[in-house]
């Protein structure tokens, strides 16, 4: 289990599924080189900001840039943010897993 309470088996499954950021679609880096940018490094994301929801439908990987921008905002609010507008992120461009959450909220 990692420090966010995600079991190793789920972590492995999500790592295979999410090779690109579920929000902006950039190819995720598994680490950062010395003095390199962390912007595209893979981070763990709770699509619905509730650390108690540890399911394949709520846990995803996204780039550090999107994760930092989203923070604790509600997904539906964040999708309307200036950050998303500038990056071309919308309910039509995000990964299917994110679209499914948006449909339910």
d(C-alpha 66, C-alpha 28), whole Å: 11
User: In this predicted structure, what is the pLDDT of residue 95?
Assistant: 98
Q: Is residue 40 part of a domain?
A: yes
User: So what's the pLDDT on residue 36?
Assistant: 67
**Max Cα-Cα span within the chain:** 41
In a domain? residue 25: yes
27-37 tens-digit pLDDT: 998 887 676 67
Residue 3 covered by a domain: no
Residue 80 lies in a domain: yes
- Residues of the domain holding 84: 8-104
What domain count does the chain have?
1
Which pTM does this prediction carry?
A: 0.91
Does 2 fall in a domain? no
pLDDT in tens, 58-86: 999 999 999 999 999 999 999 999 999 99
- The whole-angstrom separation of Cα 28 and Cα 15 is 10
């Amino acid at each position: 289990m990692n420090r966010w309470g995600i079991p190793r088996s789920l972590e492995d499954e999500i790592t295979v599924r999410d090779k690109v950021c579920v929000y902006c679609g950039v190819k995720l880096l598994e680490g950062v080189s010395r003095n390199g940018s962390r912007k595209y490094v893979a981070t763990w994301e709770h699509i619905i900001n509730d650390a108690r929801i540890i399911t394949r439908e709520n846990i995803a990987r996204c780039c550090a840039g999107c994760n930092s921008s989203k923070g604790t905002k509600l997904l539906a609010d964040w999708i309307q943010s200036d950050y998303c507008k500038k990056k071309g992120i919308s309910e039509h461009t995000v990964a299917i897993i994110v679209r499914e959450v948006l449909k339910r909220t």
